[in-house]
Amino acid sequence: MKRYVLLLVLSVFVFSCEKRNRPPKPSNLITKDKMESILYDLYVINAAKGVNRKLLEDKGIVPESYVLNKHQIDSAQFAQSNAYYAFDPDLYKIMVEKVRTRLENEKKAIEDSEKKAGKEAKRRRDSISRINEKRRDSIKKALKQEVSG
């Protein structure tokens, strides 16, 4: 009985496995570099949508349409090109890794810029504090001279 069940399970697995053929290369295939830029924009806009959806809605921005219009493509062209590239997981992984690296570099640049701006703001606050302290000291000195004089 166990043999029959095992044979049945194996048969189901063997016959259920369907050989998938690569989708045909679209006539209007998006280049890899442009596809990476589109994926980058989609990741950024989806992150923005998650953080501040209300602002996008108030401005009347539809994120997916914005990206398609920016790159002058339509949704069918994107879907066909995405399916074509996604069929090769190694290639798609390389493309996504490039996008991830670009996102990390952008994040680091923004963090560095914010850090620099924070240091500059602290330097200005410290400078203002020193000026105010000198002014207080001069007022105290003038008051002492008035009292003693």
pLDDT digits over 53-94, tens only?
778 778 887 778 888 889 999 989 999 999 999 999 999 999
State residue 38's pLDDT score. 93
Alpha helices in the chain (DSSP H): 2-16, 32-51, 53-58, 63-70, 75-86, 89-148
* Per-residue burial over 88-127, b = 16 or more CB atoms within 10 Å of its CB, e = otherwise: eeeebeebbeebeebeeeeeeeeeeeeeeeeeeeeeeeee
The angle that helices 75-86 and 32-51 make with each other, rounded to 10 degrees, is: 110
Tell me the C-alpha distance between 28 and 19, whole Å: 26
Q: Give the domain ranges of the chain.
A: 31-111
Q: pLDDT band at 130, cuts 50/70/90?
A: confident
pLDDT class of 15 with cuts at 50, 70, 90? low
For position 9, what pLDDT does the model report? Answer: 55
Report percent pLDDT > 70 for the chain. 86
Tell me the C-alpha distance between 99 and 66, whole Å.
Answer: 19
Q: Residue 50: how many CB atoms within 10 A of its CB?
A: 8
For every residue of 20-45, DSSP letters joined together read PPPPPPPTTPPPHHHHHHHHHHHHHH
pLDDT of residue 29 exceeding 80: yes
Question: Whole-structure pTM over 0.85, yes or no?
Answer: no
DSSP state of 87: T
Residue-averaged pLDDT of the chain: 81
